[in-house]
Amino acid sequence: MPKLSVHLVTWNGVKYIPYLFESLRKQSFKDWELLVIDNGSGDGTSEAIEKELQSFPAPARFVRNEKNLGFAHGHNQAVHATQGEYIQLLNQDMYLAQDYFEKIVAMMEEHPEAGAGQGVLLKWDFGKASSVERLASSNSLTDIVDTMGLKVMRNRRVADWRTGKLLNNVIASGAKQSHRWGEEIATTPSVSRDDEVYEVFGVSGALPIYRRKAVEQVAFEGQMFDEDFFSYKEDVDLAFRLRAAGWKAYVDPQAQAWHDRSAAGPREMSDKAALQNRKTKSAFVNYHSYKNHVMVLLKNENLANFARDWPWILWYEFKKFVYLLLLDRATLKGLKEIKRLRPRTMQKRKFITSHYKLKPEEMRKWFC
């Protein structure tokens, strides 16, 4: 049984396949397997994957779904088909440094309390990448941070930590997430490691590694990701569940990869920035992001913490509701779906509560 099971779920991403597989072939870590699940692509993605797997250096399998069953279902399908101690999820729009798997597995091995981890994801300006052979000279692999994990505001808005920052400035400062919004404090690493490792609330779903034992503990009816979400915010929901069950999450800035994000969050955290960012996203993304954000709250919000933070939470939700009511009623259709799913959502909440090990004040320290 390999140490690491790598899961790639694809959908209409043929342009990324040669780049992603080139980075996978170069991985210095050797004890891993690859499972690819295509969600009914119609652009040649499946054919491109089959071509790449003909000469692939690691054990690999390929499964074709007849239709798009969603990000959540695809990865749950993969989890049940592999057995590695660690589960590494891949987005199709990624390019990994050759030592990424080696460093991220080493971090998880050193920290048995970690249920999740990730490296630093940097922004990939894919439009500048003309070919795999010329990638290094294309200036498309930037040193601008895409995400270093998830942070949660007091109103329960979730954002990517350190997005838009220069990587060298991040590493040089030794800055670690503060428990007050907008503040960062210089600290020594919170864990014993030669390279700085940062503890974060949770990790991004673009390139997370999970300890199988941890996700099995918090999986409701065997689902690592909640399939009622379909796509978007599954990583946030899982981050809440893992944190509530007592697992930690870390980021190793020495493990690096590049991400051509299609649904990026704003660099600034103001309401104006969030509104402008929303206008750049598709109706599909906005619908599922809104619906799933509310479902994250219904499933995971601790009543003691809600009693302290309800003015911030409700004011944030009220502002969103008014905007949607006036300018984007299509997204509000998600409320009907939430109502339909409410009985099942409450079952999941009961399950999460039964596994709750973290005291409310310990969870609350992450809400800045």
- Does residue 277 register a pLDDT over 80? no
Long-range interactions of 126-135: CB distance < 8 A, separation 24+? 126/15, 126/16, 126/93, 126/260, 129/19, 132/18, 132/19, 132/22, 135/19, 135/22, 135/95
The whole-angstrom separation of Cα 2 and Cα 153 is 38
Per-residue confidence (pLDDT) for residue 194, from 0 to 100: 43
For 12: left if phi > 0, alpha if psi spans -120 to 50, otherwise beta; the answer is left
Least Cα distance to 289 among 310, 266, 311, 306 occurs for 266
Average pLDDT, integer, range 250-277: 75
State the architecture of 1-368 in CATH terms: Alpha-Beta Complex (3.90)
Domain boundaries, the chain: 1-368
Output the pLDDT for position 77.
98
Which of 49, 66, 61, 40 has its CA nearest to residue 15? 49
Confidence of residue 178 (pLDDT cuts 50, 70, 90): very low
pLDDT value at position 189? 37
Task: Tokens 């981050």: give the residue.
Answer: 239
Return the ∠ at Cα 165 (arms to 320 and 206), rounded to 5°. 65
The pLDDT tens digits of the residues spanning 71-121 come to 999 999 999 999 999 999 999 999 999 999 999 999 999 999 999 999 999
pLDDT one-digit tens code per residue, 200-213: 999 999 999 999 99
Q: How far apart are CA 108 and CA 246, in angstroms?
A: 16
Please classify residue 180 by burial: count the beta carbons closer than 10 Å to its beta carbon, then call 0-12 exposed, 13-18 middle and 19+ buried.
Answer: exposed
What is the average pLDDT value for the chain, to the nearest integer?
91
pLDDT digits (tens, 9 = 90+) for 31-67: 999 999 999 999 999 999 999 999 999 999 999 999 9
Q: Tens digit of pLDDT for each residue in 293-333? A: 999 999 999 999 999 999 999 999 999 999 999 999 999 99
Please tell me what DSSP assigns to residue 266.
Answer: P
pTM of the full structure: 0.91
> For 192-202, what is each residue's pLDDT tens digit?
344 579 999 99
Percent of the chain with pLDDT over 90: 81
